[in-house]
Structure 1
Amino acid sequence: MPQQAAGPSQPPSLRELLRSPGYGRLLLVSALVGVPVSLAAFGFVSLEHELQHLVWESLPEHLDYSSPPWWWPLPTLALAGLLLAPIVTRMPGRGGHIPVHGLGGPPTPPIEVPSVVLAALAALPLGAVLGPEAPLMAMGSGLALLTVSSAKRASAPLLAPMLGAAGSTAAIATIFGSPLVAAVMMIEAAGLGGAQLTLLLLPCLLSSGVGALVFTGFGHWTGLSIGALSLPSVPKAGLPDAADFLWGIPLAVVIALVVVAGQTLGHRFAVFTSLRTAVRTVLSAVLVGLCIAGYALVTGRSPEEAALSGQATLGQLSADPHAWSVGALLALVLFKGLGWGVALGSLRGGPIFPAVLLGAALGVVVGGLPGMGTAAGLAAGLAASAAAATKLPVTSTVLATVLLGDQAADSMPLLIVAAVVAFLTATFVHRVAVGPPEGHASPSPTADRTTG
């Protein structure tokens, strides 16, 4: 049979695309952009961590409190709302997109980066129940776009989203503690295949790899804390048995329902703050403070455990899960979950980190039941919550694997099942609770795939 001649509509092969001069320059720029983006990310997370330490440790100690009193979140969150209000109403970019809309979206124009950074520094250290991942990604994409002129971006429509994705990957790799998690997130969020996927992945791998090297080295050199999502110690895990799956599957369903409930609340508050934004942003921040204070009043524990992104609390929970009573863990899920839902629709930050803590807390609760150990419950909770929050089950499994370290190998079957069950549950329930997403074309390869 004679070979059919290539028609003018046949797309170029991967080899032809890789050998094109423009793509070679993109790879070089992506490798180079990882350096300034990682340094900027280092400065951002270090400053955010130092401000957090000042607000939640140094100031209470200066006022002769061994830990923040129960009412501490009320003035701190009120201040966060007051600082955030003019940013989200007057500055270009309005402090970045609302967290409940996810991590994806078009590349951030460089002119909007200052408002993103200021909004994150106004909200996160003062107790907003959100993470730093979304501001980091926006900052990374905006800084990456500074490397090419606006005329060049206009003449090459794919340049901006691909370079923006590379910058976002370099930034997000720093806070997830692994370039692999960031790269897998880009693969799964892109929704592409074949040559297109390879073209997107190579710049992301280069920028995140170089960025992680610079970020880690700079952290060791300065000795500053960067607050990356990590678990210094985790319970020893064994091979999962039938009981682990019998408990793990309904656990994943419950976690997905909790996450979708928080996201649904976030959508309601996004509508609420769309009118009279300044006043309602302050009111929402105060409401987040009330949720955190409620946790401290009910449990008698520090309000810091329910405030902030949850990175520190997650490390404490995994290191010593038996230091928490079932009542305290359920109160954490209730009050932090409510605060997270309000913050998702009104403040600025990332949606993933608090959700992971909520899932871990529920996992430890179920892990104390007969037939399922704490290690298995924690592992399933990490994977299920990340999958429900991001709608990216592969990324969530990799993230849980990185967090569990050498204990992940035995837990891998349970991780995968929990992530898939939570993803399916969250996908179906979210569509019912919020309704189908509005149809719109997004110019970014990662747009709206990691949405809440």
Structure 2
Amino acid sequence: MAATSDGRAPDQGAQGRLYLRLLALAGLIGIPVSVAAFAFLALLHWLTAFVWEDLPDHWNLDPVPWWWPAPWLLLGGALVALAITKLPGHGGHVPIDGLSADLVPPSHLPGVLLAALGGLPLGVVLGPEAPLMAVGGAVAVILSSRWVARGPETGLLGASGSAAAVAVIFGSPLVAAVFILESVGRAGLRPTKVVLPCLLSAGVGALVFTGLGDWTGLAVASLRLPGLDPPERPDLADLLWTIPLALLIAFGVRQIHGLGRLLLPHATRRPALMAMTAVAVTAIAAAAYSLLTGRSPVEVLLSGQDELGVLTSGHDAPGVWALIALLALKGLAYAVSLATLRGGPIFPALFLGAAAGALLSGLPGFGIVPAMAAGMAAATAAILPLPVSAAVLITLLLGSGATGITPIVLIAVVIAFVTEQLIDRAGREPVPAE
């Protein structure tokens, strides 16, 4: 191909102009996508508060009784089953497969919304990040269809829309952009082309989201971990205890995934029945936790995003036996939800990792902050094949004063990720014939 007088290929300038046009579209798309994401999260927050706070207060049910989750979970299971069996797209991505960056066709959006808004606020043990990504990507595709022909450019703008949608739920547009970039890299897109649109769209989305929150006064929660005072640097004991904790969490995640994988074929054949079975198991787990510990059954339910503060609440934090029961029963509910229901896999794993860290923080020399940081980092890295995203998320979650804990986070991420990959590879290797 002949070069022009300035040494560039003839189409290089056109490609540069096309990329600049896509970059501008990504920034513009971040505005309506963030509005749609705000509406989704505001409705999700209102429904959750109505079911688990407003109604119990209205009927003088304080604390929430052990039987309260059952009818709501059964209703949620029925709505999720309806979305899976009757609407296009089967309610969205199956969470046991991780966090998908694949584009969701606009025709699938009603099913995704019904499964998310019907299940998540009614007690399903999954998070809102996967539906948010689907909403952001689908809205971006709808808005860009008039300006961009369907192809690689559509995928790029869809990834940018997903980044804008999930920017606020992680508490930082940087975390959202890293998650999207690492996800699309595994999906086959070129991260070097996606990085600027995702960063721009996530930044614009976060700004608009913050402005909408201030303007409307609506409380839309993002991921926060209150009540911790990080040390300036970890002790040697913290570093040493991080290794077995990360190994233990990777093994625990493998058990959760193993149970989910056993249920997945049944969920594929009988989705409605398995969805109802999953919410029934979740209701029984929540009731058992409440009856055994005297604590609220809500701690076993939902994504765990709003319950992280329970683990750091001082006098009201769960004791050792309550933490053991919480890990076992919420882990069970999480496993069945991963295979049969719809939502995101990150937040419950993060909560379970924090609970495991809180439980083992009683070991000699193991501080509560390093233990919870290591637990969250290990759980996030083990549940998703996205180690960089896990490290960035936990580091930013701990706040600007926790830079000294970064070595703990990185060690836990690497150990948990490598352990999970080795276990997974060993499980997939064929057994040699005798």
Q: Secondary structure at the match of 1:338?
A: helix
The CA distance in 1 between the partners of 2:265 and 2:289, in whole Å, is 26
Structure 1 residue 152: deviation in Å? 4.6
1:348 to 324, 342, 345: 342
The answer as to whether partners of 1:73 and 1:290 remain within 8 angstroms in 2 is no
* TM-score for the superposition, normalised by structure 1: 0.89
Q: Distance in 2 between matches of 1:185 and 1:431?
A: 24
Within 5 A, what are the aligned runs for 1:366-405? 366-405=360-399
Deviation at 1:19, TM superposition (A): 5.4
Q: What's the counterpart of residue 152 of structure 2?
A: 158
- Does the residue aligned with 2:399 lie in a helix, a strand or coil? helix
Aligned to 1:364: 358
Deviation at 1:260, TM superposition (A): 2.0
Name stretches of at least 5 consecutive residues in structure 2 with no aligned partner. 430-434
Distance 1:127 1:294 in 2: 15
User: Which residue is equivalent to 2:119?
Assistant: 123
* In 1, Cα distance between equivalents of 2:315 and 2:374: 15
Structure 1 window deviating more from structure 2 (233-242 vs 386-395): it is 233-242
Q: Distance in 2 between matches of 1:238 and 1:329?
A: 27
Structure 1: runs of 5 or more not aligned? 437-452
- Deviation string 1:84-133 (CA, Å, 9 cap, x unpaired) is 21111011111101111111142011111121111100000000000000
Are the structure 2 counterparts of residues 42 and 17 from structure 1 closer, same or farther at C-alpha, using a change threshold of 3 Å?
farther
User: Residues 255, 62 of structure 1: CA spacing in aligned structure 2 closer, same or farther, 3 A cutoff?
Assistant: same
Q: What are the Cα deviations for residues 296-353 of structure 1, in whole angstroms up to 9, with x where unaligned? A: 1221100111100001111221343872211111111100000000000111110000
C-alpha distance in 2 between matches for 1:18 and 1:120: 42
The answer to whether structure 1 residue 417 and structure 2 residue 389 are counterparts is no
Q: CA deviation at 1:149?
A: 2.8
Larger RCO of the pair (alpha carbons < 8 Å, separation 6+): 1
The Cα offsets for residues 168-200 of structure 1, whole Å up to 9 and x where unpaired, read as 1111112101011011223323337xx943211
C-alpha deviation, 1:63, in angstroms: 2.2
CA distance in structure 1 between the partners assigned to 2:62 and 2:98 by the alignment? 37
Kindly state the Cα deviation for residue 30 of structure 1 after the two structures are TM-superposed. Answer: 0.4
Q: Is the 8 A contact 1:235 1:319 kept in 2?
A: no
| Distance in 1 between residues matched to 2:14 and 2:375, nearest whole Å | 41
Partner of 1:248: 242
CA contact (8 A) 2:232 2:402 kept: no
* Alpha-carbon spacing, 1:350–1:17, altered in 2? closer, same or farther (3 Å): farther
Q: Are 2:325 and 1:331 aligned?
A: yes
Q: Are 2:314 and 1:309 aligned?
A: no
Distance 1:293 1:344 in 2: 20
Q: Which amino acid aligns with 2:295?
A: R
Distance 1:173 1:221 in 2: 18
* Whole-Å separation in 2 of the counterparts to 1:200 and 1:112: 24
1:57 alignment counterpart: 53
1:259 aligns with 2:253: yes
Per-residue displacement from partner, 1:55-76 (whole Å, max 9, x unpaired)? Answer: 1111112222112111122111
Structure 1: distance between partners of 2:340 and 2:2: 53
1:73 matched to 2:72? The reply is no
Deviation at 1:39, TM superposition (A): 0.7
Q: Is the 8 A contact 2:246 2:412 kept in 1?
A: yes
Q: Is the 8 A contact 2:230 2:402 kept in 1?
A: no
**Bigger mean CA offset, 238-247 vs 306-315:** 238-247
CA distance in 2, matches of 1:183, 1:21: 23
Structure 2 match to 1:318: 312
Match in the other structure for 1:95: 91
Shift of 1:431: 3.5
Offset at 1:167? 0.7
- Deviations, residues 424-444 of structure 1 (Å, cap 9, x unaligned): 1111223344x38xxxxxxxx
Decide whether the 8 Å contact of 2:79 with 2:118 is kept in 1.
Answer: yes
In 1: Cα distance, 2:153 partner to 2:107 partner: 18
Q: Within the alignment, does 1:47 sit opposite 2:43 as a pair?
A: yes
Superposed, which structure 2 residues align to 1:269-280 within 5 Å? 269-280=263-274
Give the alignment partner of residue 138 of structure 1, picking from 114, 123, 134: 134
Instruction: Report the equivalent of 1:440.
Output: none
* CA spacing shift, 1:323–1:285, aligned 2, 3 Å: closer
Give the SS at the match of 1:124. Answer: helix
Q: Is the 8 A contact 1:17 1:23 kept in 2?
A: no
- Whole-Å separation in 1 of the counterparts to 2:294 and 2:224: 26
**Pair 1:417–1:392, CA change in 2 (3 A):** same
**Number of matched residues?**
423
Which of structure 1's runs of 4+ aligned residues deviate more than 4 A? none
Checking the alignment, whether the CA contact within 8 Å between 1:124 and 1:131 is kept in structure 2 is yes
Check the 8 A contact 1:41/1:174 in 2, yes or no: no
Q: Secondary structure at the match of 2:123?
A: coil
% identical equivalent positions: 47
Distance 2:56 2:399 in 1: 34
Alpha carbons 2:99, 2:183 under 8 Å: kept: no
Could you state the TM-score of these two structures normalised by the residue count of structure 2? 0.92
Are 1:185 and 2:184 counterparts? no
The answer (yes or no) to whether the contact 1:110–1:146 under 8 Å persists in 2 is yes
RMSD, matched Cα: 2.3
The verdict on how the C-alpha distance between 1:89 and 1:166 changes in structure 2, with shifts beyond 3 A counting, is same
Distance 2:271 2:140 in 1: 30
Change (3 A) 1:378 1:22: same
Range moving further from structure 2, 91-100 or 348-357: 91-100
Counterpart of 1:235 (choices 222, 229, 232) is 229
Letter in 2 for 1:35: I
1:228-261 per-residue CA deviation (whole Å, 9 max, x = no partner) reads 1112331332411221121111001111111222
Q: 1:17 to 1:230 in 2, by over 3 A?
A: farther
> How far, CA to CA, are the matches of 1:432 and 1:219 in structure 2?
48
Report if aligned partners of 2:66, 2:287 keep a CA contact under 8 Å in 1: yes
SS of alignment partner, residue 301 of structure 1: coil
